[in-house]
Structure 1
Amino acid sequence: MKKKAAVDHTDEKSPQTNLSWWRWGADKTDALIAALAMGVRFWHVFLLARSPFSRYLAGDAATYSSWAERILQGDLASLHQGVFYQSPLYPYVLAGIFAVFGKQNLAVFCVQALLGVLSCVLVARAARVLFSPAAGLLAGTLLALYGPGVYFEGLLQKAALDGFLVASLWWLWSRVVVLGGWYQWWAAGLCCGLLTLNRENALVLGLGVLAAAFFCQSGALTPKRRVLAAFLGLLLPLLPVAVRNAWIGGGVHLTTAQFGPNFYIGNHPNASGLYEPLVAGRGSPDFERLDARRLAEAELGRDITDGEVSRFWAGKAFAFIFGQPLTWAVLFAKKILLTVNGVEIADVDDFYGRSRMFLPLKLAFVRFPLIFALGVWGWIQSRARWRELFPVFFGVPLYVLSVAVFFVMARYRYPLAILLAPFAAWGMVQLWAAGKARGRPWSAWVVVSAGFGLSLLPLVERRWQEASTFVSLGDYYLNQEKNPGEAVSHYRKASQLAPESAEAQFRLAEALVAFDQREEAERAFAEAARLAPGWAEVYLKWGQARLSWGQEAAGLSVLSQAAQFPETAGPALRLLGDVWFKLGRLEEAFAAYQKAWGLGKDATLANNMGALLARQGRFQEAEQWFLQACELDPAYAQPWVNIAKLRLRAQDTAKAAQALEKALSLEPGHREAQELLRRMASPGSR
């Protein structure tokens, strides 16, 4: 096929070969597309700047921000991360933005909005070159008004970078098709390498580019040179990361060590197809890695490497797949349907809740069902050109499968919308042409209707997604603004939208405790425990609340439940020991402290153990525990006060004074230390 597919649109494309790269595919309508995209996006950014969402970060966003700060502080290789557990490209991009503009979330949103505008123009130019001028205008307009795209560009999330890189791939591939030179193949491979470094499952697009090198006949390069160029481009960003991971972790990890846990989350007997943490209530990036390792090591009975953790969870997933193939096939089919479903599935941030608050997200009216339905028809209409469009043509089904093999979230699915946009535009052009010819394209309408039908299946409820926005707002007011009253109002909205959400009930309970609404807090804790009986933190915080209300007996009952869960056993046992100590049940307190110590050394625990031993008259042992507390936390003043008490009891006032001075140097306002010094200085104190 000597440019057979390419010359289908020769009249529109041939002038491109003489253009500079920055004018490739350009047209006067680019200005209209850019203006439309920029207007919507910067209006959204303007409103974001006046909202809590520009100031409060949670989940992955908080992790990426702190990671970027560590890079700027000198940890250029991110050694604190060990083997990467999350894909590393986005934190380094964030670090670059912070280096130029300071740690300003608004600057990130502005840069991402500009990338979004550029993405619309790149896709328009690619569609113009590969399909037609009308398709270019439509593709750019679809993305300019794609609401979820505008939304993702207003988050500290790598999805914004995904969109730009996929748009770049479309544009670069149009150059490969027409020019087919070594540089064009290398650039397409490089783009896929960067995309893989940002979104691991996008490796399928890079493999598509390599495969295309065997089939595409554009340009004068031999297949070997095409493959070499694309492979070197793909390898350039990936090789340094793989070498770094091998040097740190001693294993082969192309990008991250997260494959196994993520694969298991999407493939086990109770999987829903959506994200569910390995341990209930611990979906934060801070916990994901710890829990994956802790659970694997507990089952294997030994310490293991990052690679072994990944293989452990992957092995459990494959055991389910091969052990229950029919059950897994049904689950996989469901995940494919979820991948193309019209609902934007949230995790921490939510499109629908923000659409209520930000008018630009409503005015950007294009949604996934429209792009999917028209995109499927355009994709089918392009089937004769599969060799020419190889990586983007086969990239559509391959990307769907690459998402569905794990679990589905809106930000994972987002690159699919960019892949489909030029096909959707071409589908619209074909439908319009058929209408003008007074034909009856029944097959087209059947396909488009079926696409809409699949995308609109009621698989996920939007109210669950909206609830997450109000949970995030509640978190902002409770944790950052220290305004529990305002937090309660948002948590109540979340629990009203999704009354069966344990997270909404639990967050409401925490805010009610801070707001001193005891009866309602008690009901919310009880409801959260009923909805999520395996969520250990619910019992721990419930027990702490009861203790703060002076309800020791009631607190003991729920803390005993918290002590049954590995993730909360340590703090729960310490609190149990504190209560029993307060109640004078010293043997039970000692046993609880010992169990807690076996789970993890802690300065507060060591201090409390010393206080208990002193109460029992075991003064030498008590002093050793106090000294150990000082070693574990050199800034902790209370153990020094307790040491001073022991030395006063032994009538060693000089050493007691030294201990008290040490305590006051650590905590100048420590009242007990000040009182003891006053007593020692008063006449007759000896």
Structure 2
Amino acid sequence: MSTENDLSPDERPAPSLRRWALIVFGLALLLRIVHVWQLDSAPFGALRMGDSTSYHQWAEEIAGGNVIGDEVFYQAPLYPYFLGMVYATVGESVTTVRVVQSIMGSAACVLMMLACWQWFNARTGIVAGTLLSFFAPAIFFDGLIQKSVLDLFFLSLLLWLLGQWSQSPKPRTTIFIGVVTGGLLLTRENAILLVPLLLFWQWMRTSEKRWQPITLCLAGMFLVLFPVALRNKIVGGEFHLTTSQFGPNFYIGNNPNADGTYRPLRARRAHPKFERQDAFDIAAASLGKTPTPGEVSSYFVQQSLNYIKSKPTEWFKLTARKFALTWNAVELVDTEDQYTFAEWSLPLTLTQRVAHFGALVVLSALGVCVTWQQRKEHWFLHAAILIYTASIVMFYLMARYRFPLVPFLIPFAAAGIVNVRDYWKQASAKNRAITIGIVLGVGVFSNWPLVPIEPMRAATLYNIGAQLDLEGRGDESIPFYEASLKLRPDSVEALYNLAHAESRRANFPTAVDLYRRVIELSPQYIDAHNNLGLTYANMRRFEEAEQSIRKAIFVNPKSAASYNNLGSIFAMQSNFDQATKHFTRAAEVDENYAEPLVNLGMISVQKKEFEQAQKHFQRALEIDPNHLNACFSLGNINAEQRDFRAAIQWYQRCLEINPNFQQAHQNLQRAEALLRGN
């Protein structure tokens, strides 16, 4: 696969190769460790957001011994298992994981150097490894609790192995190529489109016994993928080679409301913990039965195909937009964006100015032009770029989804830098003009401002605030919501969460203004109506509170939470008859909603109707066995009735649910003392 200027394996000085490998590794690791160190001091440094929360929970289960699991994989499984291994061996702190991933990312830079050393020549390999070391998105993704670090590692390793195999097609190398490809498929499912290309390339590179490398490569993939498919069959009753989320992902990228980026199946449900359930619920409602994971996937595929058939022109425009986004310089946000993280990271701040995707595409275009005469040697890389682009455009765009293109682009970018001078001396005027035209055209196309950065930064700041909220750090979340709103003043989610945070701080007038703003922007936002009503109630403005809750009920007459809130407002006014009426209605609307039953129990306690109260609390616990207030109230009732043994059991149950529940500690001690006194 080498040009005439390349060094043969025997001519390459091994110390030089080792020296450059150490230099590239050290440079890459230095940049990544500084990045990790600076992120560690950021307010969000220890947070896990979006997919990383589900990966973390999954990895904890694996590290704890639940290796098999009990459902068909919905997300690519390899990264959680990698994470579980890290947790079990060196610890589970975010910083620890980032350091491990930084080492892997640095190793990928070395593998890229070795691969290009073989595919092109030594100088190209050195430049390629250095480029990847400085490439801003690579630094960014190596620091995220995301699977992109494995994508880069496996693809760089695969290219190196292919270079090895092309020079010495040993059976062992062929099997290892299959194993690595299988690993890649377990972290990036759409890479399956590369498999036919890989097998065809091996066929074309072999003159005798052409089926042997194909068979061995497939055997290597089988070793990795069959256990996963068998496991899915055992736990879910269906064979799925990797995961069952093809259909929902395909639909998100191909439906009448799609814009080429990620939009959740249901509004304001953009979180991994909702995605699987929402897909199931939508499919079940449409199919009129309880579907299997495969049937859920098939349902969404069919919905997308119906859209494509009914509106082909609209779909073609959507596909063209996705193609443009794939090759655009901007890194589309998922949960965290590169540009916000750069504010806390000097390596990102410096590298993203020049070593960004738009620059890489331009250099790669130059490299393709200057190496075009060797296209018969490099056609696998050309084809891989086209095929992987198609696999992205099939779905929707996020920066991490197009990141696997980088290992195929880096070799050409490096070759362009290394060979442009010689090419310019040797090329005809016509070829020079064509090259200039292509490079300029690609540069304009790739760096044209298609997507503004500010809304993405606003989304990241909002996500940081929301995660701080979830972790009980509400006061710390407020500056992030405010910063998000400066970039995107009409963000309903940021306004709503900021209102909620201000309400928790008893800053009720500010909360009211914010909730009103939310309702102006989104009149159907039930939670905003409900929380506005509860905020009014906390201000003792009960008439306005009732009006707000009734608006929520008008928007959705089947909202059990709204009836429960209305009951709470009447209970605050000691109007127990009206409160009972609305709590009862809430329990009727949703038979699996424990809260109104607890509230009915509290009213019965107020009326000294302890037997009825116990029935309400017991029913609530049948729905939610961990309902703290129900357990605590039952303990109080038993203590009131001087049944201290039963009271002690309920207080102990409270402390099992929440060991920090101080009132339960105090009541338990009191009940134990009274029991001893008897």
TM-score after normalising by structure 1: 0.87
Could you tell me whether the CA contact under 8 Å between 2:455 and 2:487 is conserved in 1?
yes
Is 1:502 equivalent to 2:489 in the alignment?
no
Give per-residue Cα distances to partners, 1:311-370, cap 9 Å, x unaligned: 222221111111111100100110111111111111211100111221111222400011
- 1:545-564 equivalences under 5 Å are 545-560=535-550
Could you tell me whether the CA contact under 8 Å between 2:3 and 2:121 is conserved in 1?
no
Quote how far apart the aligned CAs of 1:238 are.
1.6
User: What letter corresponds to residue 180 of structure 2 in structure 1?
Assistant: C
- 1:366-515 equivalences under 5 Å are 366-380=355-369, 382=371, 388-437=377-426, 440=429, 441-475=432-466, 477-480=468-471, 482=473, 484=475, 486-515=476-505
CA distance in 2, matches of 1:376, 1:580: 69
- Out of 669, 674, 681, the position equivalent to 2:663 is 669
Could you tell me whether the CA contact under 8 Å between 1:9 and 1:131 is conserved in 2?
no
Give per-residue Cα distances to partners, 1:431-464, cap 9 Å, x unaligned: 2223344864121121111111111222211111
CA distance in 1, matches of 2:255, 2:33: 43
Give per-residue Cα distances to partners, 1:542-599, cap 9 Å, x unaligned: 4444444444444444545656788993433432333345553746854654454553
The corresponding residue for 1:197 is 186
Could you tell me whether the CA contact under 8 Å between 1:373 and 1:450 is conserved in 2?
no
The corresponding residue for 2:123 is 134
- 1:94-109 equivalences under 5 Å are 94-109=83-98
Quote how far apart the aligned CAs of 1:528 are.
3.4
Using the aligned pairs only, state the percent identity. 29
CA distance in 1, matches of 2:313, 2:74: 31
Is 1:320 equivalent to 2:310 in the alignment?
no
CA distance in 2, matches of 1:402, 1:535: 36
Could you tell me whether the CA contact under 8 Å between 2:3 and 2:374 is conserved in 1?
no
The corresponding residue for 1:626 is 617
- Out of 5, 8, 13, the position equivalent to 1:13 is 8
- Out of 19, 32, 42, the position equivalent to 2:23 is 32
The corresponding residue for 1:304 is 291
CA distance in 1, matches of 2:36, 2:578: 60
- Out of 196, 200, 204, the position equivalent to 1:207 is 196
Cα distance change, pair 370–635 in 1 and its aligned pair in 2 (3 A) = closer
- Out of 142, 147, 152, the position equivalent to 2:141 is 152
Secondary structure of 2:320's match? helix
CA distance in 2, matches of 1:561, 1:9: 78
The corresponding residue for 2:566 is 576
Cα distance change, pair 476–304 in 1 and its aligned pair in 2 (3 A) = closer
User: What letter corresponds to residue 455 of structure 1 in structure 2?
Assistant: S
Could you tell me whether the CA contact under 8 Å between 2:107 and 2:153 is conserved in 1?
yes
Could you tell me whether the CA contact under 8 Å between 1:212 and 1:387 is conserved in 2?
no
CA distance in 2, matches of 1:385, 1:539: 66
Quote how far apart the aligned CAs of 1:126 are.
1.3
Secondary structure of 1:669's match? helix
Secondary structure of 1:347's match? coil
Cα distance change, pair 196–405 in 1 and its aligned pair in 2 (3 A) = same
Could you tell me whether the CA contact under 8 Å between 1:369 and 1:452 is conserved in 2?
yes
User: What letter corresponds to residue 87 of structure 2 in structure 1?
Assistant: F
The corresponding residue for 2:224 is 237
CA distance in 1, matches of 2:126, 2:473: 49
TM-score after normalising by structure 2: 0.88
Structure 2: unaligned runs, 5 residues or longer: 655-661
CA distance in 2, matches of 1:557, 1:203: 56
Mean Cα deviation higher: 386-395 or 195-204: 386-395
**Number of aligned residue pairs:** 662
Is 1:172 equivalent to 2:161 in the alignment?
yes
CA distance in 2, matches of 1:552, 1:315: 50
Mean Cα deviation higher: 6-15 or 369-378: 6-15
Quote how far apart the aligned CAs of 1:269 are.
0.8
Is 1:524 equivalent to 2:514 in the alignment?
yes
CA distance in 2, matches of 1:430, 1:134: 10
The corresponding residue for 1:3 is none
Cα distance change, pair 333–675 in 1 and its aligned pair in 2 (3 A) = same
Could you tell me whether the CA contact under 8 Å between 1:34 and 1:120 is conserved in 2?
yes
Could you tell me whether the CA contact under 8 Å between 1:177 and 1:388 is conserved in 2?
no
Mean Cα deviation higher: 518-527 or 273-282: 518-527
CA distance in 2, matches of 1:423, 1:407: 26
Could you tell me whether the CA contact under 8 Å between 2:59 and 2:84 is conserved in 1?
yes
Structure 1: unaligned runs, 5 residues or longer: 1-5, 682-686
Mean Cα deviation higher: 550-559 or 322-331: 550-559
Could you tell me whether the CA contact under 8 Å between 1:205 and 1:392 is conserved in 2?
no
Quote how far apart the aligned CAs of 1:184 are.
2.4
Secondary structure of 2:130's match? helix
- Out of 326, 335, 339, the position equivalent to 1:348 is 335
Give per-residue Cα distances to partners, 1:88-123, cap 9 Å, x unaligned: 101111111111112222121111111111111111
Cα distance change, pair 375–438 in 1 and its aligned pair in 2 (3 A) = closer
Could you tell me whether the CA contact under 8 Å between 2:568 and 2:579 is conserved in 1?
no
Quote how far apart the aligned CAs of 1:510 are.
2.5
Could you tell me whether the CA contact under 8 Å between 2:499 and 2:514 is conserved in 1?
yes
